Amino acid sequence: MAQKGMISPFEPSLIRKVQKDLSIGCQPAISYGVSSYGYDIRLSPVEFRIFRHIPGTVVDPKNFNPQHLESTQLHTDNNGRYFILPAHSYSLGVALEKLEIPDNITVICIGKSTYARCGIIANITPAEAAWRGHLTLEFSNSSSADCRIYANEGVVKLLFFEGELCSVSYQNHHGKYQDQSEIVTLAKVC
* 99 Cβ contact list (under 8 Å, min separation 6): 6, 7, 107, 127, 131, 132, 133, 134, 135, 158
CA dihedral (133, 16, 19, 83) positive or negative: positive
* Distance from C-alpha of 124 to C-alpha of 190, rounded to nearest angstrom: 22
Told to judge if 11 belongs to the known catalytic residues of this protein, a careful annotator would answer no
* Distance from C-alpha of 55 to C-alpha of 58, rounded to nearest angstrom: 9
Q: Are 107 and 159 in contact (CB under 8 A)?
A: yes
* Distance from C-alpha of 17 to C-alpha of 78, rounded to nearest angstrom: 13
| Residue among 96, 92, 108 nearest 43 (CA) | 96
| Candidate list 47, 128, 138, 153, residue with the active-site label | 138
Catalogue the active-site residues. 138
